[in-house]
Amino acid sequence: MSNHLKFFIDGEWVDPAIPATLDVIDPSTEEAFTAISVGSKADVDKAVAAAKRAFATFSLWSVEERLALLHRMLVEYNKRFDDIAKAVSFEMGAPMSFALEAQAWAGRAHMEATIAGLENFKFSEKRGATTVVKEPIGVCALITPWNWPLNQIVCKVAPAIAAGCTVVLKPSEIAPISGIIFSEVMEAAGVPKGVYNMVNGNGPDVGQVMAGHPDVDMVSFTGSTRAGIIVAKTAADTVKRVAQELGGKSANIVLPDADFESAIRKGVQGCFGNSGQSCDAPTRMLVPADRHDEALVYAKSEAETFVVGDPRADDTVLGPVVSQVQFDKIQRLIEAGIKEGATLVTGGLGRPENLNRGYYVRPTIFGNVRNDMTIAREEIFGPVLSILPYKDEEEAVEIANDTVYGLAAYVQSVNIEHARDVAKKMRAGSVYLNYPEWDTFAPFGGYKQSGNGREYADWAIHDFVEIKGIVGWGD
How far is C-alpha 44 from the geometric centre of its chain's CA atoms? 23
The beta-strand segments (E) located in 282-394 are 284-288, 343-346, 364-367, 384-390
Catalytic residue from among 155, 165, 271, 279: 279
In angstroms, rounded to a whole number, what is the distance separating the alpha carbons of residues 82 and 88? Answer: 10
- Distance (Å) of CA 221 to CA 71, 84, 159, 211, 267: 25, 22, 14, 9, 28
Q: Reply yes or no on whether 279 is catalytic.
A: yes
Phi, psi of 27 (to 5 degrees): -70, -15
End-to-end CA distance of the chain: 58
Give 166's Cβ-side CA count (13 Å radius).
29
- Greatest CA separation for the chain: 75
Give bridge partners of residue 243 from the DSSP assignment: 220
User: Is the separation of the CB atoms in 27 and 34 below 8 Å?
Assistant: no
User: Is the separation of the CB atoms in 222 and 152 below 8 Å?
Assistant: yes
- Distance (Å) of CA 259 to CA 151, 253, 263, 433: 31, 12, 6, 13
Does an H or E element contain 14, and which?
Answer: strand 12-14
Closest CA to 147 of 287, 8, 277, 324: 277
Contacts with 431 (C-beta within 8 Å, 6 or more apart), sequence order:
408, 409, 410, 411, 423
In angstroms, rounded to a whole number, what is the distance separating the alpha carbons of residues 75 and 81? Answer: 10
Give 352's Cβ-side CA count (13 Å radius).
23
Catalytic residue from among 76, 91, 173, 245: 245
Tally of residues, the chain: 475
Catalytic residue numbers read: 245, 279
